Amino acid sequence: LPEPGTVEFKDVTFGYPGAEAPVLSGISFTAKPGQTTAIIGSTGAGKTTLLNLIPRLYDATEGEILIGGVPLKELGREAISRNISAVPQRPYLFSGTIASNLRFGAQDASDEELWEALDIAQSTDFVTEREGQLESTISQGGTNVSGGQRQRLCIARALAAKPMTYLFDDSFSALDVNTDAKLRAALAEPTKDAAVIIVAQRVSTITEADQILVLDHGEIVARGTHEELLESSETYQEIVTS
Ligand code: CTP
Ligand code: MG
């Protein structure tokens, strides 16, 4: 069996219920633990759809997705939510304290572990400055924190769960380039044994990725490292220069 946390797509096709054309076709790749797999491509290419198939928000129409060699359908919901942390493109906070938001998926996390996660997510200052700190209240939908803070709290939440697989859907684009770089440097250690899949808008976010998948109209049109793609893929060159 592949290592726990390995994500494998085998010739996956997906169409939204009721839609005529598939949104994803013939998607095959392996995201290995200890590696970062990046997905890049223009808006509507199918990046979010691809990520959403992993925690089974939708099921593949054709083909198969496996985690650690086990087909998703055999894993069960509980194992999926225990092993995978997803930071969605529109991160969501519910009304309640910061601590309870961070413990969603990590009920047993100590305050110390929450602070560690916040530190990695570059959110220590922001939480320290709030009255009540971890016990300060987030309003419904997180409307009393900024978009960037919301994104970072959702990254901290993902970290607190200590999963084997991390999915980041465009989680760094609301951050300034400096914070983005700091956060990703801080992520290296806690995610070093996990399979990390990052959807990115900015090429600078993914130049270090072990493999980059270039998605175009629901198909992987090129794959490789940043250097390889600069040589081989016109679509990638266009993304880099746009
Ligand atoms: N789509 C759909 N029904 C949904 C979500 C998406 O029909 N519930 C369609 C979109 O209209 C789009 C395609 O599926 O044509 C891919 O959408 P998505 O995966 O969200 O694309 P992304 O690559 O994530 O686009 P973005 O960069 O804008 O996030
Ligand atoms: Mg998207």
Q: What is the pLDDT of residue 174?
A: 82
The residue to which tokens 């769960």 are assigned: 161
Q: What is the pLDDT of residue 242?
A: 83
Q: What is the pLDDT of residue 93?
A: 92
- CA 222 to ligand 1 center in whole angstroms: 20
Mean pLDDT of 100-125: 96
Q: Which DSSP category does 145 fall into?
A: S
| Residue 226 confidence class, pLDDT cut points 50, 70, 90 | very high
| Residue 144 confidence class, pLDDT cut points 50, 70, 90 | confident
pLDDT, tens digit, 9 for 90 and up, residues 49-96? 999 999 999 999 999 999 999 999 999 999 999 999 999 999 889 999
Contacts of residue 5, Cβ cutoff 8 Å, sequence gap at least 6? 33, 67, 68, 83, 163, 164, 165, 193, 194, 195
- Ligand 1 pocket: which of 13, 23, 219 to mutate (most atoms within 8 A of CB): 23
CA dihedral sign of residues 1, 210, 153, 111: positive
Q: What is the pLDDT of residue 12?
A: 98
User: Rounded CA gap, 43 and 31, in Å?
Assistant: 22
pLDDT, tens digit, 9 for 90 and up, residues 163-196? 999 999 999 888 888 998 999 999 999 999 999 9
Q: What is the pLDDT of residue 167?
A: 98
Q: How far is CA 35 from the centre of its chain?
A: 13
| Residue 201 confidence class, pLDDT cut points 50, 70, 90 | confident
Give the residue, by CA position, lying nearest to ligand 1 atom 15.
Answer: 44
- CA 134 to ligand 2 center in whole angstroms: 30
- CA 173 to ligand 2 center in whole angstroms: 12
Q: What is the pLDDT of residue 147?
A: 87
pLDDT at 141 over 80: no
Q: What is the pLDDT of residue 151?
A: 93
- CA 47 to ligand 2 center in whole angstroms: 5
| Residue 202 confidence class, pLDDT cut points 50, 70, 90 | confident
User: Rounded CA gap, 14 and 22, in Å?
Assistant: 5
Radius of gyration of the chain (CA): 18
Residue % of the chain over a pLDDT of 70 = 100
The SS3 call for residue 30 is strand
User: Rounded CA gap, 208 and 199, in Å?
Assistant: 13
Q: What is the pLDDT of residue 170?
A: 93
Query: What domains can be seen in the chain, in order of their start residue?
Result: 7-241 (3.40.50.300)
Q: What is the pLDDT of residue 117?
A: 98
Mean pLDDT for all residues in the chain: 94
Residue spans of beta strands (DSSP E) within 74-191: 84-87, 96-97, 137-138, 165-169
Phi, psi for 189 (deg, rounded to 5): -70, -55
Decide if 75 contacts 66 (C-beta within 8 A).
Answer: no
| Burial of 174: CB neighbours in 10 Å, binned 0-12, 13-18, 19+ | middle
Q: What is the pLDDT of residue 177?
A: 86
Q: What is the pLDDT of residue 182?
A: 94
Give the residue, by CA position, lying nearest to ligand 1 atom 2.
Answer: 16
Mean pLDDT of 21-40: 97
